Amino acid sequence: MIYKRVSPFVPSLLRSVARQSEFVTNPVKIMKCDSKFEVFVTRADMPESGIEMIRRECNVKLWNRSSPVPRDEFLKLVPGVNAIYCCLTDKIDKELLDAAGPELKAVATMSVGYDHIDIQECNKRGIRVGYTPDVLTDATAELTVSCLLLATARRLPEAQAAARDGGWESWSPMWMTGPGLADSTVGIVGFARIGQAVARRSQGLQHQRIIYCSRTARHEAKEVGARKVEFDDLLAESDFVICCAVLVPETRHMFNRVAFDKMKRTAIFINTSRGGTVDQEALTEALQHKIIRGAGLDVTTPEPLPLDHPLLSLNNCIVLPHIGSATIDARKTMAELTAVNILEALKGFEMPSELKIT
């Protein structure tokens, strides 16, 4: 299937033609083996090694497209399956679980985020839920600090555009300047695995201070010299505010008008967690009215962000298409861990990465 391997350098028109050619093939592919278990896999382009591991031990029903399975198809395809192998674009809620029925024993998502899954409803029904923490921590922290934070501070897309479109007239003393990272204060909101990995990388950039806020004090903070502060103090003191918080009801829109008003006018806001932690209208206004200096976002609401969204036209905002974990190794390992989570659950064992939320 050549169209699955279209290079990112092929113009988007050609890519959409390639994608249309998917519709010639059957949208569902069945791969049978001698097993009593059936697993529904929601994407054809999940890394092959993960699908292969499942295929060796279970019958696989694969959504044979590289775009998300439409909701009505999803509901029609899950009745009777024993496990669902999904990703963060697949909503696993009560309606979907009802459609799947009592044979569903496990849901495993190829993501560390699980806000697309109704965990409580799964717990109630005894459906085990797997996810992929740890294996994407480095990739996500790398993107957060080494790419997004630096690119936003030093205005890389804007500078590159100027070099390409003639905006670069001559070297100029204050042209394209941005804040340096050395001697700055970085504030990390959410200090679990990814937050801590971000802190470790920040140390290497000679930030003067690393502060964090999270529900509980973390002993790991000592290793990176990070100090726990209240959310409001973090907003007021940080030159760089980095959101690594998990999206739960308590963190939804925690970055709102009030929060942006409390930040320094020179602050840069980075988000690599979930778009839902941000009130985007408030962020847009904060950037337009220079309440803060800039923002770098790897996550938005919705995804993809509509092309006419104001955030995409602001030159003090960088938007990436949710590529935090997108290293080749991280994605392959995530796919394999998702497979093992499912296989272990179906055999009645503990998943290596099982979500247990009470």
- Per-position DSSP letters for 84-118, written without gaps between them: EEE-TTS-B-HHHHHHH-TT--EEEESSS--TTB-
- Identify which range of 32-40, 59-67, 105-113, 243-251 contacts ligand O=CC(=O)O by CB under 6 A: 105-113
Exactly one of 58, 106, 136, 282 binds ligand O=CC(=O)O (CB under 6 A); that residue is: 136
Exactly one of 113, 178, 187, 195 binds ligand O=CC(=O)O (CB under 6 A); that residue is: 113
Which amino acid, 198? V
What minimum distance in Å lies between the beta carbon of 57 and ligand O=CC(=O)O?
24
What's the gap between Cα 50 and its chain centre? 19
What minimum distance in Å lies between the beta carbon of 73 and ligand O=CC(=O)O?
23
Phi-psi region of 190 (alpha: psi -120 to 50; beta: other; left: phi over 0): left
* Cα–Cα dist 44/87, whole Å: 12
* Cα–Cα dist 339/53, whole Å: 6
What minimum distance in Å lies between the beta carbon of 110 and ligand O=CC(=O)O?
7
Sheet holding 106-109, edge to edge: 28-31, 59-63, 38-41, 83-86, 106-109, 128-130
* Cα–Cα dist 244/139, whole Å: 13
- Identify which range of 33-41, 43-51, 110-118, 209-217 contacts ligand O=CC(=O)O by CB under 6 A: 110-118
Does 247 bind ligand O=CC(=O)O (CB under 6 A)? Our answer is no
- Identify which range of 108-116, 144-152, 177-185, 224-232 contacts ligand O=CC(=O)O by CB under 6 A: 108-116
Q: Answer positive or negative: Cα dihedral of 214, 220, 223, 224.
A: negative
Does 195 bind ligand O=CC(=O)O (CB under 6 A)? Our answer is no
List binders of ligand O=CC(=O)O among 53-92 (CB under 6 A).
88
List binders of ligand O=CC(=O)O among 281-340 (CB under 6 A).
324-325
What minimum distance in Å lies between the beta carbon of 345 and ligand O=CC(=O)O?
19
Which residue reads 């696993």 in tokens?
A: 92
Inter-residue contact 240 to 209 (CB < 8 Å) = no
What minimum distance in Å lies between the beta carbon of 111 and ligand O=CC(=O)O?
3
Pick between residue 85 and residue 260 the one whose CB is nearest to ligand O=CC(=O)O: 85
Pick between residue 221 and residue 337 the one whose CB is nearest to ligand O=CC(=O)O: 337
Exactly one of 59, 64, 82, 111 binds ligand O=CC(=O)O (CB under 6 A); that residue is: 111
Give the angle 85-87-90 at the CA atoms, nearest 5°.
95
Tokens of 64: 């044979």
* Cα–Cα dist 225/204, whole Å: 12
Catalytic positions, written as ranges: 322
Pick between residue 136 and residue 148 the one whose CB is nearest to ligand O=CC(=O)O: 136
Pick between residue 202 and residue 273 the one whose CB is nearest to ligand O=CC(=O)O: 273
* Cα–Cα dist 329/32, whole Å: 28
The residues of the shown chain that bind ligand O=CC(=O)O, judged by CB under 6 A, are 88, 111-113, 136, 324-325
